[in-house]
Amino acid sequence: MTLPTHIASLYETMTQEAAYDGRPAKLFTLRNASGMTATFMDIGATWLSCTLPVDNTDREVLLSYATMPQHLMQTAYFGATVGRYANRIANGRFVIDGGEHKVEANQGEHTLHGGPDGFDKRRWTVQEQTDTVIVFGLVSADGDQGFPGELKATVRFELTDANALDIQYVAECDKACPVNFTNHAYFNLMGDTTGEDCLAHRLSISADQFVPTDANGIPTGELKSVEGTGFDFREIKTLKQDFLTDEEQKLALGYDHAFLLNTSVTDGKAVAVRAVSPDNRVELEVKTTKPAVQLYTGNYLAGEPARHGEQVKHQGFCLETEFLPDAPNHPEWPGDSILKPGEQYQHQTIYQFTF
């Protein structure tokens, strides 16, 4: 198949220099009948690119970079599969069955996205590959980053002819352990070369509650109603409409908060989140089996590498489907974030595009 020019060049620029393990990365591109593409890298099981045929051009709707040195220096988790535990664990500690576990910290005293050597930095093995499906697998040893148990995980990406990227996560662990995978894609539905920030996008989230956090992004322990706050996305509105109007937003320099999805939209079939591009040419719907979604508006993107130059603040937004941040320390919250021996972690998230 003929690939969009910038994707074809990725196969050269991303493999010219070695990844973390001293070997070059491998890239894979899926393409559907309408000409949509999704490109992945085995390092981090990373979603590198997503192009949509809009107005006879291939519109790139993911933020990313173009070379392996840029990948090695970036700190924004662009498109990566993150784990074992996405988002934050306060003080890098949790208790299971009366026993305390300490995991490695990488954000001050806290643990973010699995620790300093999380799954985003690992080489995943390719277990299956077709024109429309790629399956990556990973084995994480007992004690990896301090997490208990040997964990075996797979992430399956399928690009459907309905223009959806269907992501399915499966994992098993031989000891009780917090497990929470997500994909950390940054979206700009106007395209990654427009130079526009993401705040003119319109967004709706089917959530009546959100999680307030402190200045370090650690939950305060409260589940707060969105009513009367800038976190109320129950009716579609622009990201900028109520931007920085709440104290919680000011602490985070924007939106970087988890929304507890209404249970009616966590069956993997109902639309939990909807985003619309400012030019009304692209719509994104998110469906998931996870109980929450983290909305992040790229508040710290400035200076991160881009395919052309550097990212700017708020250039893209993330919709990270997940268990709630620090949920292992809040067993009273919805969703069971502890995977037990003999059980299977199995979750799905679909990013459905209309253009």
CA distance 155 to 136: 5
**Residue labelled with tokens 């679909």:** 350
**Backbone dihedral region for residue 113 (phi beyond 0: left; psi -120 to 50: alpha; all else: beta):** left
Out of 113, 320, 322, 347, pick the active-site residue.
Answer: 320
Whether residue 208 is annotated as binding a ligand: the answer is no
- 123 known ligand binder: no
The three-state secondary structure class of 221 is: coil
Q: Which of 6, 184, 201, 257 is catalytic?
A: 184
Q: Is 308 a catalytic residue?
A: no
Can 320 be counted among the known catalytic residues? Answer: yes
CA distances from 96 to 4, 83, 149, 279 (A): 48, 18, 12, 49
Query: Known binder of ligand: residue 329?
Result: no
Residue 17 sits at φ, ψ, to 5 deg, of: -125, 155
**Burial tier of 308 (Cβ tally within 10 Å: 0-12, 13-18, 19+):** exposed
Residue 168 burial (CB < 10 Å; 0-12/13-18/19+)?
middle
Which residues lie below 8 Å from residue 332, measured CB to CB, with a gap of 6+? Answer: none
On whether 31 is known to bind a ligand per the annotation, the reply is no
88 is in an annotated binding site: yes
Pairing between strand 338-339 and 318-322?
unpaired
Query: Is 169 annotated as belonging to a binding site?
Result: no
- As annotated, the active-site residues are 184, 320
Binding residues: 87-88, 184-186, 256
Going by the annotation, the residues of the binding site for beta-D-galactose are 87-88, 184-186, 256
